[in-house]
Structure 1
């Protein structure tokens, strides 16, 4: 199957470089290019592409406003092509929170397109299937802690104490999902550690975006950083695994170099396996939307250690790969829609 792509990029040079690079891929075809949002909107309507690449920094209608229109009128997998500036990284983090499925950091000379990362992102994005909402549809609010579990949530016995630590893994579509989950966390939540598959350039801006939108404090994990209640720690990305060390007297973040695990560095499996070993039954693990199977084996280890384990359900996932793999292993004690995950987590500790 040929993946049909519309490129929206204001720079003629970058458009030419992108077209030349993607034309080398036998399964990818650039069906049209646009210099601005107005052209892009017409071309998306005309060609109905599988994937859109979007330059977020454009004259006229900016990329964020255009992304909102795409997701509202014709939901399509969008990959953000971002510059190297701090402002570009912050805008990209906002785009990921609004529904873009991935981000690619470009070099100004175009050299960043010489590897296969963008083509691989396009292949992953082409597997995303958005459900177009019915007119007037809105997300249902998370159920109150005292309410019975919804029928599409698997149930398990109540825990008698809140988790000592929460570990979360996510990938494609994960930044948007993290906003939904963490915005419902209390300000005094248990220490929470997250591996989100993302380029390290964007991790600080994603942490800042989450920090501004969510009650707990959100920051980038640092080596040997104490993990404190009311704080959420995001893996810095790319070159180090985030794991947990310590004991019930106090847990710490550990960052270590190494080889990819389950194809990723940092890896959700690496985080979950360390939590299963160091925290055990006192922990909770949450596996959100994402391509592949990273996190499935780690969530199974947490489940076997007695931890509370939750997987996002298929209907609310951007990509059901990672949760599906965990569910197939029997690793998920609860399978829940995205908006119910926080209430399920804290209901079990009520």
Structure 2
């Protein structure tokens, strides 16, 4: 049984989350707190397996509490966030600090919308309960990105797919990329608004240029393109150039954007020019696409279990024998670049 403590200053949200989580046979809500100070005592007393934590609260905000928690007693946390321009950077900061995932708090018709999200809320708590949580450590930008002086093959493309835990894994990969790296295309399971904030955050942090992909973007050296939430990203070839294509079609593997859509599109453009990696995440999205890439000549990687927050997508890829290598997160950038270097 997964024991959950709910921390939220809204009595309505506390009540609704309790109702939703108690519907699951494998989850029990052991308590709810209206602020972090009350929560601190309840954590000691109730020893929960997972916390749900509101981002904005009186007395002490969720970020400050999370920072202290991850330093003193790391444990799985699911953030409850408003899906807004203001809320998304704060939520991304929470993921950076060690939160496993987040749930978007409805802004209108709260009871009706949260009820529709019941299975998603329950699933995210289950994922968090099994996640690998580590104490917070700040990533330092390396002054010497890997292979700065290497000559990369002009037609190479690096493709990355990720889900739960992926924003921080992607950050660790991109932060080491040199300015002359091949174009990088990324699908991370992320909602609208959050993808733009994530791209902006990466662009400020990394040596390379990072942007939210737009329809018609031409892939260029030294750039990373992140799929916008709510749209599939695929890559199309026109002449000798590659371009981003956004598609508002149905979810694939229950996701939009979906990693399989990106990977399969690169099979069509010429898999032999692709180096692809599947990173931490729940489920199996991307595993079949990675296999298709490998079978058509791409070099493929999957993140190892120990360094993954959730070893779902990489595990699915490994079970299909879709990865040429299973690699620790801190080695993935090096391996991606190694495969893209001119011999």
TM superposition score normalised by structure 1: 0.87
Structure-1 residue corresponding to 2:110 = 110
What's 2:22 paired with? 23
User: Which aligned pairs between 1:36-51 and structure 2 lie closer than 5 A?
Assistant: 36-51=35-50
| Match among 310, 313, 318 for residue 309 of structure 2 | 318
1:88 Cα deviation after fit: 1.2
CA distance in 1, matches of 2:177, 2:145: 13
Q: Are the aligned partners of 1:282 and 1:307 in contact in 2 as well (CA < 8 Å)? A: yes
In the TM superposition, what are the counterparts of 1:169-248 in structure 2 within 5 Å?
169-238=161-230, 240-247=231-238
Q: Provide the rounded CA distance (Å) in 2 between the counterparts of 1:55 and 1:144.
A: 36
> What is the rounded CA distance, in whole Å, between the counterparts of 2:273 and 2:329 in structure 1?
23
Partners of 1:248 and 1:99 in 2: how far apart?
Answer: 44
Q: 1:266-316: CA deviations, max 9, x gaps?
A: 211111111122131111101100111111111111111221211111110
Candidates 265, 288, 291, aligned match of 1:300: 291
Structure 2: give runs of 5+ residues left out of the alignment. none
Distance (whole Å) between structure 1 residues aligned to residue 259 and residue 157 of structure 2: 15
Partner of 2:32: 33
Contact map agreement 2:145 2:178 (CA 8 A) in 1: no
Question: 1:254 corresponds to which residue?
Answer: 245
How does 1:156-167 map onto structure 2 within 5 Å?
161=153, 164-167=156-159
Aligned to 2:122: 119
Give the number of equivalent residue pairs: 332
Root-mean-square deviation over aligned CA pairs? 2.6
Partners of 1:163 and 1:347 lie apart in 2 by 15
**Partner residue, 1:149:** none
List runs of 5+ in structure 1 lacking aligned partners. 147-158
Contact map agreement 2:260 2:285 (CA 8 A) in 1: yes
State the alpha-carbon separation in 2 of the partners of residues 248 and 334 from structure 1: 32
Cα distance in 2 for residues equivalent to 1:230 and 1:145: 13
TM-score using structure 2 length: 0.88
Question: Where do 1:51-90 residues align within 5 Å?
Answer: 51-90=50-89
1:56–1:81 contact (8 Å) kept in structure 2: yes
Q: Following the alignment from structure 2 to structure 1, what is the Cα–Cα distance between the partners of residues 298 and 239?
A: 14
Aligned with 2:335: secondary structure?
helix
Cα 1:131–1:35 shift into 2, 3 Å = same
Greater shift, 321-330 or 257-266, is seen at 257-266
Superposed displacement of residue 82, structure 1: 0.8
Distance 2:337 2:165 in 1: 23
Q: Is the 8 A contact 1:54 1:79 kept in 2?
A: yes
CA contact (8 A) 1:94 1:209 kept: no
Q: Which moved more, 1:313-322 or 1:111-120?
A: 111-120
